[in-house]
Amino acid sequence: MNVRAKFFVSEVKHAAVPGSEPYATVTLAPVFGSYGDGEDNKTWAKYTPCGKIELGITNPAAIEAFELGKAYLITFEPAE
């Protein structure tokens, strides 16, 4: 069974370490209430009321792909 969830970027923290690759920590939280597209999120919040995903990223393009406040759909599926 796959599980789909809707999370938004709640924080992007850039770390500057001289002489190293860019690094950022991206934190995502489940959408809730009237966030973004309103009524649709009541369904998401009912089944995923809380949580957090935190990613440490060194790929500059991937860091830029996460926009603060923007919602993303995430699918969890078994790795086989």
pLDDT along the chain (80 residues), means of 10: 89 86 93 69 72 94 95 91
CB–CB of 12/26 below 8 Å? yes
CATH code for the part of the protein at 3-75: 2.40.50
CB–CB of 73/6 below 8 Å? yes
Task: Report the predicted TM-score, pTM, of the whole model to 2 decimal places.
Answer: 0.81
The whole-number pLDDT of residue 38 equals 61
The whole-number pLDDT of residue 48 equals 67
Q: Which amino acid is at 56?
A: G
- The phi and psi torsions of 61 (rounded to 5 degrees) equal -65, -40
Every domain of the chain and the residues it spans: 3-75
The whole-number pLDDT of residue 35 equals 66
